[in-house]
């Protein structure tokens, strides 16, 4: 069972790119972030034509997340618990059935688009940290239920020095602040596994800015993560980053990360 996460940076602008990658990679589940579309105009028919069931939590022009699955989904929930006043569309979760030929359990898949937090010194950074606190509370509650869970998405957090091309370039950015990184470590302390780091200690990137030739210079960072509960981490057999997609025409500035599970 392949579970992928990808910030597509606008479904309208990247639709053909997204469809091309889904046809090429054919993940069982795809978590898409920053769809920048309300639910009604989201082009679900194009994804359904590839065999996916589609659930979205959209917002006009900003944010927005989507879950695509080749198998049925149930118990779909939109919005991260803990703040009823938060109107930003950044979180959707569902229970996903495994492929018919698999012995894997039903998996709770959560697709998240964590706030950026920049610029520092504004209300955006406390909002980011508050959102992460709510995510930790949600994750802890799921652990108590012992449900296989993956928290998949664009975390807007650079975990450590292996995950960026230049530490100096990011010291004053919200993505690399001690508070941001510390909250991610708290998630690991609860028992969640960073899927990529479970299989590789090498430097890997998932994002290259559009500016200053970042892609051509390989000036990237790793901010897209698959965080797996103990019940699911035991099933992890591999992770790949489809970074070749960044070189396609009209690419997102992020690339897909795919976790491979087997019973």
Q: Is 113 a catalytic residue?
A: yes
**Secondary structure string (H, E, C) spanning 52-85:** CEEEEECCCCCCCEEEEECCCEEEEEECCCCCCC
SS3 state of residue 126: helix
Selecting among 28, 52, 138, 154, the annotated active-site residue is 154
Q: In angstroms, rounded to a whole number, what is the distance separating the alpha carbons of residues 170 and 249?
A: 28
Which residues neighbour 137 within 8 Å (Cβ) at sequence distance 6 or greater? 81, 82
CB 148 within 8 A of CB 108: yes
> Do 3 and 29 contact (CB within 8 A), yes or no?
yes
What is the DSSP-derived secondary structure letter of residue 164? B
Q: CA–CA separation, 119 vs 2, rounded Å?
A: 35
Q: Is 154 a residue of the active site?
A: yes
Nearest one of 206, 226, 122 to 165, comparing CA atoms: 206
Q: How far, in Å, CA of 246 to CA of 256, rounded?
A: 9
- Class of residue 129 by CB neighbours under 10 A (exposed 0-12, middle 13-18, buried 19+): middle
Q: Catalytic residue among 52, 113, 138, 176, which? A: 113
Annotated active-site positions, please? 113, 154
């Amino acid at each position: 069972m392949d579970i992928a996460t990808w910030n597509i940076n606008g479904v309208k602008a990247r639709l053909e790119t997204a469809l091309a990658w889904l046809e090429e990679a054919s993940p069982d589940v795809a978590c898409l972030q920053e769809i920048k579309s309300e639910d009604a105009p989201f082009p679900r028919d194009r994804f359904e034509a590839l065999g996916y069931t589609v659930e979205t939590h959209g917002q006009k022009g900003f944010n927005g997340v989507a879950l695509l699955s080749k198998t049925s989904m149930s118990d779909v929930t939109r919005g991260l618990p803990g703040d009823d006043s938060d109107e930003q569309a950044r979180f959707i979760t569902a229970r996903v059935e495994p492929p018919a030929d698999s012995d894997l359990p039903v998996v709770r898949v959560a697709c998240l688009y964590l706030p950026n937090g920049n610029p520092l010194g504004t209300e955006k950074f406390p909002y980011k940290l508050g959102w992460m606190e709510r995510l930790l509370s949600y994750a802890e509650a799921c652990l108590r239920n012992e449900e296989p869970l993956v928290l998949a998405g664009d975390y807007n957090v650079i975990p450590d020095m292996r995950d960026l091309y230049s530490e100096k370039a990011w010291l004053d950015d919200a993505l690399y602040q001690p508070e941001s990184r510390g909250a991610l470590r708290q998630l690991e302390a609860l028992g969640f596994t960073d899927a990529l780091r479970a299989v590789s200690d090498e430097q890997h990137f998932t994002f290259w800015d559009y500016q200053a030739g970042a892609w051509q210079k390989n000036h990237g960072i790793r901010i897209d993560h698959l965080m797996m509960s103990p019940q699911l981490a035991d099933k992890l057999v591999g992770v790949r980053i489809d970074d070749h997609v960044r070189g396609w025409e009209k690419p997102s500035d992020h690339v897909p990360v795919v976790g491979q599970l087997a019973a």
